[in-house]
Amino acid sequence: MHWMRSAASYDCLQALYSRCALLQIAYAASDEVLVTGGYDQAIRLWDCRSRSFEPIQTMKNFGDAVTSVAVADRYVAHLCQ
């Protein structure tokens, strides 16, 4: 998987994928925060350093599945379809 940034983020992503209905994944600039979007109409930010299964932030109620996420500096952009 060439897009994995580090072993910690790989472990984090593997655990999240098995628990969530993910559609899209993006890394914050620091590579320590993973941003996910999915069928549950939410965007979640995960701290891969902590190895926690709880997100550090959740943004909900987008009205449809979050099919795309992008991160630039401290901003998160999304697309719902």
Q: Is 0.85 surpassed by the pTM of this model?
A: no
Judge whether 2 lies within some domain.
Answer: no
Give the pLDDT confidence of 34-80 residue by residue, as tens digits.
888 888 888 998 887 887 778 899 999 888 988 888 888 888 888 88
Judge whether 1 lies within some domain.
Answer: no
Domain range holding 42? 7-80
Judge whether 29 lies within some domain.
Answer: yes
Judge whether 11 lies within some domain.
Answer: yes
Judge whether 61 lies within some domain.
Answer: yes
Judge whether 15 lies within some domain.
Answer: yes
* CB of 46 closer than 8 Å to CB of 34: yes
* Number of domains the chain contains: 1
And the tokens for 35?
A: 């941003």
Judge whether 36 lies within some domain.
Answer: yes
Q: What are 36's strand-pairing partners?
A: 25, 44
Q: What are 46's strand-pairing partners?
A: 34
Q: Which whole number is the average pLDDT over 30-35? A: 80
* CB of 51 closer than 8 Å to CB of 12: yes
